[in-house]
Structure 1
Amino acid sequence: MPTLLQLRTGKARRIGEHVTAYGKDPREGPVSVHALGLDGDEVANTRVHGGPEKAVYAFGASSYLLWAAEHPRHTACLVPGAFGENLLIEGLDEQSAHVGDRLRIGTALVEICQPRQPCATLARWFDDPQMVKAMVRNGLCGWYLRVLEPGTLSAGDRVILEQRQPGSWSIAQVVKASYRSPADRAELAELAQIPGLASGWAAWAARTATSEKPGPKPL
């Protein structure tokens, strides 16, 4: 059964010319979670981060090994917290995590709703502008959770799948369809209807399925 290895939160701070809450520190003991995230976790750029459909960011522990194998020059940096995750989960990855999955962690109930869309902060953190394209290419991006029932989480909690939607797509499938070039319009039209998908991602997929000029994906 998947397990929550680490729970991490961070405060907004200035790094160079930018203010970011990307850096997260591990927390001990129970931490409360609510519709907008974990207690003690801040959001610096509310234009593209935070909100009910990006309340908590989860990342699969096994993906760190794959990242290190692909990018050996970043091995020293590829340690828990390097992707700014709140939850580091063992036994769950982009193939096994499905949009709409309802997970009981501690006393909270959360729902997987969208992949992580890489942005410039990722590149700045690693001091490597190629990391954004690398995440798109390998699909090892993690996923965002909405909070359906507030509660408390602790490192060591089991991650229990309480419900999976019929016809659900894995995070890996969503990423592959969203970045396919050229776009498969029928596939995107289907993606837009996936139960539980974040509203912004679903709206983008629906527009792109009928548009001659696809717009940027939702951050």
Structure 2
Amino acid sequence: MGVVKAVCTSSIKGIQKTEQDAIELKSDWGIEGDAHGGPWHRQVSLLSYEQIEAFKARGADVGHGSFGENIIVEGFDLKSLPIGTRFACGDVVLELTQVGKQCHAHCAIYHQVGDCIMPREGVFCKVIEGGTIAPGDTIEIAR
């Protein structure tokens, strides 16, 4: 079982996201008000809290949302999970659709932070069942 450490959104793709008190997810869309919402496979991004903390330990000054991630989760090695893994968080069900991503050009995040762990550590999901997620919520792998 894991814990949601932060939830973040932005209205523009490719920039750092802003931490929110909670997010509302819609089935087959993503997060209301987030630039990545839409009927495609990368509706929501997750990043491991442990990986962010390891990056910070190398001297980086980053906060929640710095890598463009929507949900920061503690307790899972996200990049090691297989495609199709489902996460349950309250009423919300997410399905893992992609591990990592190709970054063709250094994004705004890379230029601001000096590196971006999202292409190698982040995972992407589609929303199967909608609902609300907030920091402190438990999240588990649904079998």
TM over 0.5: yes
1:144 aligns with 2:127: no
2:25 to 29, 32, 41: 32
TM-score (ref. length: structure 2): 0.81
The structure whose residues are more often helix, as a share, is 1
TM-score (ref. length: structure 1): 0.56
CA–CA distance in structure 1, aligned partners of residues 106 and 91 of structure 2? 31
Residues 122 and 97 of structure 1, relative CA distance in 2, 3 Å threshold: farther
Is the contact between residue 110 and residue 145 of structure 1 (CA under 8 Å) also seen in structure 2? yes
Partner of 1:160: 140
1:67 aligns with 2:55: yes
| Number of corresponding residues | 143
Partner of 1:22: 15
Residues 23 and 100 of structure 1, relative CA distance in 2, 3 Å threshold: same
Is the contact between residue 102 and residue 112 of structure 1 (CA under 8 Å) also seen in structure 2? yes
Letter paired with 1:59: L
C-alpha displacement of 1:96: 5.0
**What stretches of structure 1 of length at least 5 have no aligned partner?**
13-19, 44-48, 164-219
Regions of 4+ moved over 6 Å: none
Structure of greater Rg: 1
The structure whose residues are more often strand, as a share, is 2
Is the contact between residue 106 and residue 154 of structure 1 (CA under 8 Å) also seen in structure 2? no
Is the contact between residue 14 and residue 107 of structure 2 (CA under 8 Å) also seen in structure 1? no
Partner of 1:195: none
Letter paired with 1:150: G
Residues 106 and 98 of structure 1, relative CA distance in 2, 3 Å threshold: same
CA–CA distance in structure 2, aligned partners of residues 51 and 96 of structure 1? 25
Partner of 1:84: 68
C-alpha displacement of 1:65: 2.5
**What stretches of structure 2 of length at least 5 have no aligned partner?**
none
C-alpha displacement of 1:144: 0.3
Is the contact between residue 103 and residue 161 of structure 1 (CA under 8 Å) also seen in structure 2? yes
Partner of 1:111: 95
Q: Partner of 1:54: helix, strand, or coil?
A: coil
Letter paired with 2:137: D
Please give the root-mean-square deviation of Cα atoms over the aligned residues, in Å. 2.8
| Matched-pair identity in % | 23
1:5 aligns with 2:18: no
Is the contact between residue 93 and residue 127 of structure 2 (CA under 8 Å) also seen in structure 1? yes
Point out which structure has higher relative CO (alpha carbons under 8 A, 6+ apart): 2
Residues 68-217 of structure 1: pairs in structure 2 closer than 5 A: 68-69=56-57, 72=59, 75-76=60-61, 78-94=62-78, 96-120=80-104, 122-127=106-111, 131=115, 139=120, 141-163=121-143
